[in-house]
């Protein structure tokens, strides 16, 4: 599964195939993108308009009490009639919630204060395959009004949550997915944020519009110059035969070599795809 994941409302079946064609994976959304009175229709579409299950994630409503819990149970009933076995759990807040999804691979969406604080325990669950974070729901859960400052940069609390979820996923060997970029026309801002996601260690970034896919893919595809530099560095390391050496005036050790290996790996993955 590649780096560009595209949300698609599950009540818009005419968009399913187009989303699958344009992105590396599709997230069929049963939660926020679907109005309450359209959720039953959205669930039926899961079985009636099938996609490749290896490249499809179904975002479920949050597990819990009240209306959300009722929708969650209905989502699970609908999934039984589909081949989909990878789900995204909205507003994940406790490892016990993943126990309700033992037969599924779970992308836990940590998008509340409780979810971010519980991210390490959630990531430790065997069926958690990835963690994602969300800025807007997080700020809403805190009683705030905006996740970003006027210049478009994340506020400190959002940056803290982003790092916390990334670290929790990494500590347990799970993938981390970066949050959506909501300013759809601002492709330059998306490109910069995607580049930071790559450099920081996020395995993928979620998109909310097909026009965003190319910018995310481009950020995850190393340039020819970057690949050539990484290969030269690895060749120099093999020739040096020592733990620490100098290359182009810089000290090179194990972690720097692993950075170079990752660049080469991403390049090979890109060409294989």
**Residue ranges for the binding site for Mg(2+)?**
111, 137
SS3 145: coil
Going by the DSSP 8-state scheme, the letter that residue 154 receives in this structure is B
Q: Which residues are annotated as a binding site?
A: 59, 111, 137
CA-based radius of gyration for the chain: 20
CA 201, CA 47: separation in Å to the nearest integer? Answer: 35
Q: How far is CA 47 from CA 27, 78, 79, 151, 186, in A?
A: 15, 8, 8, 43, 35
Spatial CB neighbours of 232, under 8 Å, sequence gap ≥ 6: none
Contact criterion met (CB below 8 Å) for 134 and 122 = no
CA 54, CA 83: separation in Å to the nearest integer? Answer: 9
Whether the CA torsion 34, 40, 44, 46 is positive or negative: it is: positive
Q: Which of 75, 71, 112, 76 is nearest to 92 (CA)?
A: 112
Contact criterion met (CB below 8 Å) for 128 and 98 = yes
Distance of CA 121 to the CA centre of its chain: 18
Contact criterion met (CB below 8 Å) for 32 and 1 = no
Percent of the chain as helix, strand, coil, to the nearest 5: 50, 20, 30
Q: Which residues are annotated as a binding site for substrate?
A: 59, 111
Q: How far is CA 249 from CA 245, 246, 252, in A?
A: 10, 6, 9
Contact criterion met (CB below 8 Å) for 112 and 119 = no
């Amino acid at each position: 599964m590649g780096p560009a994941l595209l949300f698609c409302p599950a009540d818009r079946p005419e968009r399913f195939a187009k989303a699958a064609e344009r992105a590396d994976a599709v997230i069929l959304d049963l939660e926020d993108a679907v109005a309450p009175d359209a959720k039953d229709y959205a669930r039926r579409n899961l079985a009636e308009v099938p996609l490749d299950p290896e490249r499809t994630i179904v975002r479920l409503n949050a597990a819990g009490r009240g209306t959300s819990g009722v929708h969650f149970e209905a989502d699970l009933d609908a999934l039984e009639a589909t081949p989909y076995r990878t789900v995204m759990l909205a507003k994940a807040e406790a490892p016990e919630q993943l126990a309700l999804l033992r037969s599924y691979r779970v992308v836990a969406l940590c998008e509340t204060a409780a979810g971010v604080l519980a991210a390490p325990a959630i990531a430790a669950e065997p069926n958690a395959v990835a963690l994602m974070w969300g800025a807007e729901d997080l700020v809403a859960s805190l009683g705030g009004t905006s996740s970003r400052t006027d210049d478009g940069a994340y506020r400190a609390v959002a940056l803290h949550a982003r790092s916390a979820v990334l670290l929790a996923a990494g500590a347990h060997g799970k993938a981390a997915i970066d949050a959506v970029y909501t300013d759809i026309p601002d492709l330059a801002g998306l490109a910069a944020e995607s580049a930071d996601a790559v450099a920081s260690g996020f395995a993928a970034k979620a998109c909310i519009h097909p026009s965003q896919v190319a910018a995310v893919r481009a950020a995850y595809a190393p340039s020819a110059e970057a690949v050539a530099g990484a290969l030269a560095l690895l060749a120099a390391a093999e020739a040096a035969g020592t733990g620490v050496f100098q290359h182009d005036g810089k000290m090179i050790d194990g972690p720097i070599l692993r950075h170079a290996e990752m660049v080469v790996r991403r390049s090979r993955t890109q060409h294989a795809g």
